[in-house]
Amino acid sequence: MRLLLVRHGQTPTNVDFLLDTAVPGPGLTPLGLRQAAALPRALADEDIDAVYASTLVRTQLTAAPLAAARGLDVIVRDGIRELSAGDLEMLPGDSERGRLYMRTGFAWAAGDTALRMPGGESGTEALARYDAVVAEAAASGASAVAMVSHGAAIRVWTAARAANVDVRFAAARPLDNTGVVVMEGSPSDGWKALSWAGAVVTPTGEAGPTGRPQPVSQRGAPVSGDRPQAGPKS
């Protein structure tokens, strides 16, 4: 299955660099709405059979234009919501304590899944809920699925599950709003990242699974405008 993991459009709390992970969360800024409207054209070459979104408002607003363009309903699932910030909720993501959020998430991706976000979920819980939605989509028989999710969740899940992406790669590459990670594989056979925000991902060699991006042109790229953040890209 081809799996397109799409970060939602810009929100007011993205602009303020806050760890905003609670349901239902804010809507989109005017820029975020334009980014969502650009997705159907940006993904025009993808034969998408299903469109998923998390239980947060921002992902559903982002997914709506893409689903409408394909004549599909948006399938809402809690499992692909953002990594819960717990006691770190609404802290600045680039503050000393706020940086603990991404350090914890990437520790999960590196294998320390028993570690718990302060006042929040463990890596075992977070990865399991994301796995369950991906498994549901794979079992549906769809050949290509778009899942509109969240920056930290996409980066951590990809680093944990893609054979050719490791924590160092994902940690160095925050996703802009409506950035896309394209995966291929299945829950049983494993996953490989094909591209990350428009750059082809290739293995660096036999020393490990670290990915390396190679620039590639992308027709109809989504409208952008928010700079990379030190926070969770939530």
Q: Where residue 118 sits, what CATH number does that domain have? A: 3.40.50.1240
Tokens of 152: 């930290």
Question: Is 191 among the domain residues?
Answer: yes
pLDDT band per the 50, 70, 90 thresholds, residue 192: very high
Tokens of 52: 């998923």
Tell me whether strands 190-196 and 199-203 are parallel, antiparallel or unpaired. antiparallel
Instruction: Name the residue with higher pLDDT: 211 or 138.
Output: 138
Quick one: pLDDT at residue 202? 80
Residues noted as catalytic: 8, 82
CB 88 within 8 A of CB 117: yes
Phi–psi pair at 146, nearest 5 degrees: -100, 130
Averaged over 178-190, what is the pLDDT?
Answer: 98
Quick one: pLDDT at residue 46? 97
Quick one: pLDDT at residue 200? 95
**Gap between the Cα atoms of 76 and 101, Å rounded:** 25
pLDDT band per the 50, 70, 90 thresholds, residue 28: very high
**Gap between the Cα atoms of 232 and 98, Å rounded:** 9
What number of other Cβ atoms are within 10 A of residue 54's Cβ?
28
Task: Check whether 47 has a pLDDT greater than 80.
Answer: yes
- Which residues have C-beta within 8 Å of that of residue 206, sequence separation ≥ 6? none
Question: Is 229 among the domain residues?
Answer: no
Question: Is 27 among the domain residues?
Answer: yes
Question: Is 149 among the domain residues?
Answer: yes
Q: Considering the chain, what percentage of its residues have pLDDT values greater than 90?
A: 86
Question: Is 91 among the domain residues?
Answer: yes
Question: Is 92 among the domain residues?
Answer: yes
Q: What is the pLDDT of residues 4-24, one digit of tens each?
A: 999 999 999 999 999 999 999
Averaged over 114-139, what is the pLDDT?
Answer: 98
List, as one string, the DSSP characters of 97-151.
Answer: TTHHHHHHHHHHHTT-TT-B-TTS-BHHHHHHHHHHHHHHHHHTT-SEEEEEE-H
Question: Is 221 among the domain residues?
Answer: no
Tokens of 19: 């760890």
Domain extent for 64:
2-161+170-215
Task: Check whether 52 has a pLDDT greater than 60.
Answer: yes
Sheet holding 50-53, edge to edge: 74-76, 50-53, 144-149, 2-7, 180-186, 190-196, 199-203, 211-215
Q: Could you tell me the sign of the dihedral formed by the alpha carbons of 29, 31, 32, 38, in that order? A: positive
Q: How many structural domains are present in the chain?
A: 1
Question: Is 231 among the domain residues?
Answer: no
Q: What is the pLDDT of residues 63-99, one digit of tens each?
A: 999 999 999 999 999 999 999 999 999 999 999 999 9
CB 54 within 8 A of CB 85: no
Tokens of 14: 């993205």
pLDDT band per the 50, 70, 90 thresholds, residue 233: low
